[in-house]
């Protein structure tokens, strides 16, 4: 029995299941080198727009430009919405204006807004000019809302029904409509002033009798999103209340659009990614960024780390005489600082994540702080015993073992405290804890670790 290319027997499994097939990528690049448009289109036709976007991100700029020009009119608008922002502008510039116009017309309004947000004005105009007048007005209205707001996130296309309609009337309306959104999950029920009063899932709609009033089958969970609401709050609401879609209203409570779960989860994913990158001090860079851009993004935080390292070195300098008499201190003191830094990073990561998900609030902050301090105390005591024994065996000085053990306990307790308190304080004063906490926590654990270890050594061993 023979199997086709897409049969389960030949499909990749495990970690490679959803990655681009290396053989296909090689074939695409070979077709590109031969200028074979027919082979290129045939190879790329089965690929999802997200996979084509991945391909464009992975190849170099020269091959990217050649592929776009050769692929030409087959270029799909969904590819643009899947592209990383760092190369989206480059791809749009390389597209034939007519191809760009056709690609953009196929997109939902929220995807068009997402495209326009990060482009320069000439390219924004090129895309807006490609739209029909009514679509252009709708897009410009969405762009008038604040950046990172629900108004920017929503799609203008919404299926609505008056509150006095029946199931049958709603179904007939959808069947007769010239255009419906490409993806929608609810029919929004509105009053005569276009205020949303509820929504009906398509599943409930199709499973109810035609004579059933819509108002009797509306969902119990119904959240209305203000257009000016921050997109982080929107994503939180979707995650918290398990929403699939939600209507968006203007200042007067009138329906202006809808947000679907894919857009809300994309925001949530971006926030998580942003927090991880900021915790590492690398900003919002991507693998497609140029060397100069990546250098500029990372330089400021390396400079901050240099300043904090100098501050820690000044603490060490105060104990030069102590270190000169006990060389063993120079060998052991990095261990105390390193353990404190790692413990602080652990507490910091948990706290920043809890703040982002709103699990860490004023009502439980002291309980969380006590827990982290106790964890630091217990871990500190365990490693204190280990390092105390190592100190005695290694250097033959019992009191040196006692000193490093005590310093270990102190630094791990302070690490647990700083790793929780610092992000909470920064969040309260309006500073992003993911962005700024790392430098402060590292400084605290380094300074306290060195000061505790060298100070105790000076007091006990001299």
| pLDDT of amino acid 10 | 45
- How does pLDDT run across 27-37, given as a tens digit for each residue? 999 999 999 99
How large is the average pLDDT for residues 116-128? 79
Residue 262 pLDDT > 80, yes or no? yes
User: What is the pLDDT at residue 2?
Assistant: 38
Spatial distance between the Cα atoms of 107 and 300, rounded to a whole number of angstroms: 38
Name the pLDDT band for 370 (thresholds 50, 70, 90): very high
pLDDT value at position 4?
A: 40
Cβ contacts of residue 109 below 8 Å, gap of 6+? 135, 138, 139, 142, 155, 156, 157, 257
What is the rounded CA–CA span in Å between residue 84 and residue 316? 45
Nearby residues of 224 by Cβ (< 8 Å), 6 or more positions away? 196, 246, 247, 248, 249, 253
96-112: pLDDT as tens digits? 888 888 888 778 788 88
For 203-254, strand residue ranges (E) read: 225-226, 245-249
């Amino acid at each position: 029995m023979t199997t086709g290319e897409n049969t389960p027997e030949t499909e990749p499994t495990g970690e490679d299941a959803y990655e681009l097939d290396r053989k296909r990528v090689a074939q695409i690049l070979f077709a590109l080198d031969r200028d074979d448009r027919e082979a290129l289109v045939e190879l790329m036709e089965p690929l999802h727009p997200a996979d084509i976007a991945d391909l464009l991100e992975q190849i170099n700029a020269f091959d990217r430009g050649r592929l776009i020009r050769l692929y030409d009119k087959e270029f799909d608008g969904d590819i643009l919405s899947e592209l990383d922002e760092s190369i989206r502008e480059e791809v749009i510039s390389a597209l034939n204006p007519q191809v760009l116009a056709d690609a953009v017309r196929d997109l939902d309004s929220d995807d068009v807004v997402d495209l326009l947000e990060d482009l320069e004005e000439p390219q924004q105009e090129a895309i807006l000019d490609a739209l029909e007048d009514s679509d252009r007005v709708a897009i410009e209205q969405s762009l008038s809302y604040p950046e990172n707001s629900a108004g920017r996130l929503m799609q203008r296309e919404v299926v609505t029904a008056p509150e006095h309609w029946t199931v049958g009337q709603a179904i007939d309306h959808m069947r007769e409509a010239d255009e419906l959104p490409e993806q929608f999950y609810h029919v929004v029920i509105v009053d005569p002033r276009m205020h949303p009063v509820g929504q009906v899932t398509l599943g409930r709609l199709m499973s109810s009798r035609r004579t059933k009033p819509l108002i009797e089958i509306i969902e119990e969970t119904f959240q209305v999103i203000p257009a000016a609401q921050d997109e982080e709050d929107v994503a939180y609401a979707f995650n918290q209340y398990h929403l699939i879609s939600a209507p968006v209203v203007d200042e007067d409570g009138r329906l202006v659009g809808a947000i679907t779960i894919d857009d809300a989860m994309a925001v949530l994913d971006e926030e998580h990614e942003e927090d991880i990158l900021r915790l590492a001090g690398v900003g919002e860079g991507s693998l497609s960024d140029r060397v100069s851009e990546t250098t500029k993004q990372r330089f400021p935080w390396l400079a901050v780390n240099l300043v904090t390292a100098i501050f820690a070195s000044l603490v060490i300098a105060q104990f030069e005489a102590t270190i000169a008499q006990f060389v063993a201190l120079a060998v052991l003191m990095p261990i105390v600082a390193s353990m404190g830094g790692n413990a602080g990073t652990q507490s910091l990561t948990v706290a920043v994540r809890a703040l982002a998900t709103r699990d860490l609030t004023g009502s439980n902050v002291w309980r969380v702080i006590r827990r982290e301090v106790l964890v630091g105390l217990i871990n500190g005591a365990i490693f204190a015993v280990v390092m105390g024994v190592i100190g005695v065996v290694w250097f033959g000085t019992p009191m040196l073992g006692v000193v490093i053990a005590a310093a270990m306990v102190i630094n791990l307790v302070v690490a647990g405290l700083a790793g929780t308190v610092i992000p909470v304080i920064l969040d309260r004063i309006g500073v992003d804890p993911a962005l700024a906490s790392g430098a402060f926590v590292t400084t605290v654990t380094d300074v306290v670790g060195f000061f505790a270890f060298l100070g105790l050594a000076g007091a006990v061993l001299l």
